[in-house]
Amino acid sequence: MTTVARASKILNTRIMENDLVTYYIGYDLNDDGEMVYRLNEFISYLINIIPEFAFGFHQGTKTSNDEIVNKIYQAAKSIYKIKEFREVSDLYLTGQELEDDIEIDKKYLKRGEFGEIILHFILKNFHGTVPLISKVYFKDSYGHAVHGFDSVHINELDRTLWLGESKLYTDGKKGLLALIEDLKEHFKRDYLNDEFTIISNRLKDTEPNEKVDYWLSLLDTTTKLADQLNQIVIPLICTYSCDLFNQHSDERNDDFIQAYENEIKKLKKYFDDNYDHPLKGHLNIIVILFPVKSKVDLVKGLHKKLVIMQNLGE
């Protein structure tokens, strides 16, 4: 079974439109015959891609049996070298959590809540993309990350560059507003040029080939902004707490499906009503809505698993 097929067994896809895609975790029977939310299964599957997320594809896609444990340990260690992940782990594992409306000077901590990894998982398994660079490797090797985008992926079939943003919020509307603010900040000429220069410098360290040359040409500062935007897809994922999963216990139930679709429509309309970028007509945006039963339980569960991975090398 392919990884894509396995991912499809963990996440349900309800809506798949040009500018809107939705995913959600379903339910399954436990040993007592009760329907339970499959959060633990999703966390276990998601944690498996940590090495891939941390190292990217430049180190190959296969690991020998005698290197597996060390690879897992090194991946977890590299994640916790990032200040945001380390500090958020300390918060959640001591019974604290991050509110949506945290102070301005603490907003950077939101980057330690796994939104980037969830985005990576969904893009790779459901949209056929692969990372152009590994942000974690880039940070570890060069002293700083590509700070502007939460994903820098490519789709090799249609030669599109996927520059993604992610938010993990308790309130879906607040998460969407934060994504809109990211759009305003990141998608303007000077900012893109700065980020593309950083990405290009990383690509120049790889072995030259026709594929690399294509991306270097697209990212070059002499390329027209209009031509660049024509080849860029912007996936915006908002993972948020949704009370529907406390009110229902079976995703196949008609009442759940109707309530879910109504919720999604309201959120998409909220995004559309508040999205006011000057380049709006030139940005190819896909809103990805991923409601979960509890954002807090998701983040806490992922950090618990990541700590275990890190302890394998102790």
Distance (Å) of CA 229 to CA 61, 188, 284: 30, 10, 8
Question: Does position 142 have pLDDT exceeding 60, yes or no?
Answer: no
pLDDT tens-place string over residues 50-59: 887 877 654 4
pLDDT at 112: 65
Question: Does position 141 have pLDDT exceeding 50, yes or no?
Answer: no
How long a stretch of residues is the chain?
314
pLDDT tens-place string over residues 117-135: 999 999 999 999 998 887 6
The tally of domains found in the chain comes to 1
Question: Does position 146 have pLDDT exceeding 90, yes or no?
Answer: no
Reported pTM: 0.90
pLDDT at 30: 93
pLDDT tens-place string over residues 271-285: 999 999 999 999 999
pLDDT tens-place string over residues 207-259: 778 888 999 999 999 999 999 999 999 999 999 999 999 999 999 899 999 99
Q: How far apart are CA 188 and CA 181, in angstroms?
A: 12
Domain span at residue 104 reads 3-312
Question: Does position 144 have pLDDT exceeding 80, yes or no?
Answer: no
Categorize the per-residue pLDDT at 179 as very low, low, confident or very high, splitting at 50, 70 and 90: very high
